[in-house]
Amino acid sequence: MKWLEPEVHPGWAWARIGWAVSALMTWIPRSTHVAETYSTDGILVSIGPVRLTESVMFSPAAAWSLYAVILIGVVLVGLGRAPWLTRLGLLIAPPAMLALGFHEGLNFKAYDRLLCWEAMALFVAPGAASGRHEGSPAGRYMMTMIFMCLYASTGWMKIVKEPRWWSGVPLATDLVHRQFGMKPLGIWMSEQMWLLKPMSWVTLIFEGGWPLLILIRQVRPWLLLIGASFHIGVLALMDANTFTFVALAAYPVLLPPAQFTWLRDRAAGLLKRQ
């Protein structure tokens, strides 16, 4: 079982810090409406696959306490002082995120779920994702499987359910979506079909092909560079909140250690030359 040989992967430290930063970026802005959205003060509906509010509804104090648990847990993960402290953070923050998320069933976002999935992979990573400890690569495989499912699902849904994606038109309408779009560059781009068509093709091929392409060693770094550009593009053109940051946080460990260090050193060399 050579594929399960222990490894040291410095990318885990990047992924851990990236996860903590993106989790804080997601949750700190929610401080303005904790009581309204997560407690008896404002909960109006019970919806979603886990209808927690049908059995328990948090008081404002309980909602604030859980919110504090999230922030403490995330900070523990970000600091990474000791593996046991990081694991403690990863044990307490995601359940608290889920508990509050289930209370606001209408808004359980993709990036909230992705944060929880990534936390599982960080938890099993060597030395709780210290980046220095040697250990099983299982966490890296988990992270890869999470993204295989994510990209394959969103890509093949577009290919199968909305074939007009190949024309660039759905992307154009998304860019002027009242909530998710309306960024200045996106508004301008919504009329530039000569740009939107190739962008749509890249999106479909990237997302739909990701689960297979990531398995090809020579393609992997380039695939992730395209992925990074794709997510940065989403950030520039659309309002998907922190999805870009949550997704990119995992990228360092989607490469095996040797490829990660090669890419990191190459990027550092390029930066030095400039």
For 40, how many CA atoms within 13 A lie in the half-sphere containing its CB? 8
Q: Does 56 bind other proteins (CB under 8 A)?
A: yes
Among 8, 21, 25, 169, binds other proteins (CB under 8 A): 169
Answer yes or no whether residue 51 interacts with other proteins by CB under 8 A: yes
Among positions 90-109, residues that touch other proteins (CB under 8 A) are 104, 106-107, 109
Rounded least distance, CB 157 to other proteins, Å: 5
From the list 28, 31, 33, 216, which residue makes contact with other proteins (rule: CB under 8 A)? 33
Is 157 among the residues that bind other proteins (CB under 8 A)? yes
Dist. CA 236–CA 41, nearest whole Å: 35
The secondary element (H helix, E strand) that includes residue 7 is strand 7-8
Chain CA centroid to CA 26, Å: 11
Query: Considering only 14-22, 185-193, 247-255, 262-270, which stretch makes contact with other proteins by CB under 8 A?
Result: 185-193
Q: Which helix (H) or strand (E) holds 204?
A: helix 193-213
Kindly identify the residues of this chain, within the stretch 118-147, that bind other proteins according to CB under 8 A: 136, 138, 141-142, 145-146
- Map residue 168 onto helix, strand or coil: coil
Instruction: Establish if 257 lies at the interface with other proteins (CB under 8 A).
Output: no
Within 10 A of 237 (CB to CB), how many other CB atoms are there? 22
Rounded to 10 degrees, the C-alpha dihedral 35/40/45/48 comes to: 70
Binder among 162, 215, 216, 232 for other proteins (CB under 8 A):
162
Token couple for 117: 């999935």
130 contacts 158 by C-beta, under 8 angstroms: no
How many residues of this chain bind other proteins (CB under 8 A)? Answer: 68
In sequence order, what are the residues at sequence separation of 6 or more whose Cβ sits closer than 8 angstroms to the Cβ of residue 167? 197, 200
Is 113 a binder of other proteins (CB under 8 A)? yes
The site for other proteins (CB under 8 A) is made up of 1, 4, 32-33, 36-37, 40, 42-47, 49, 51, 53-57, 104, 106-107, 109-110, 113, 116-117, 136, 138, 141-142, 145-146, 148-150, 152-154, 156-158, 160-162, 164, 169-180, 182, 184, 187-188, 190-191, 239-241
